[in-house]
Amino acid sequence: MNNDPRLELISSASLFYQQGWMVGTAGNLSARLNDGSFWITASGKSKGNLQENDFVRMNLEGEVLESPNPQNCPSAETSIHQAIYSLFSKANACYHVHSVEANLMTRYIEGDNLPLPPIEMVKGLGIWQENPLVTMPVFKNYLNVPQIAQEIIERFQNKLPDIPALLILEHGVTVWADSPEKAKNQIEIAEYLFRYILASHH
């Protein structure tokens, strides 16, 4: 893997922006390097035209190691990326987008899970069985993001999720994978599943 994944993050961000999943400056993408640090989109950047200096490099303790532009500050949701990287040693990319469909999922949630339809598409999230009963874990949205990150850590330490994806209420989906390319596919699959759920209830 190329040791600087920023170009791949830029290309995915542009794609998601065109899909309407990263409007304004919403959402954030990160990728981990061999030394365990990770590049993450800096706060307040438009995702439609990111440049290589629109990122900050962080460590798992939340310290900024490198900031190509001194004005950059880490995304407000950095703590969620830190939580994912500390929980899943194989995760090398973590993508978070805000789609309209993700926010319309609230009425289909049961408890703190979103049941996913048992369709072919869930294979893209690593589930290879017939008629799988798979759920996506759902978390409350707090203004104080580290509180969300803490709940993610507590819940996943007790029970690993079925799939490498989670939904934050009224907010958006987060996925993680062993490469940025896989994370991009998983975002697309999650969004497809949301559209499918909405369409099948109409």
Rounded distance, CA 94 to CA 180, Å?
Answer: 8
- Is residue 96 a known part of a binding site? yes
187 and 175 in contact (C-beta within 8 Å)?
A: yes
- Is residue 98 a known part of a binding site? yes
Binding site as annotated, residues for Zn(2+):
96, 98
Binding site as annotated, residues:
96, 98
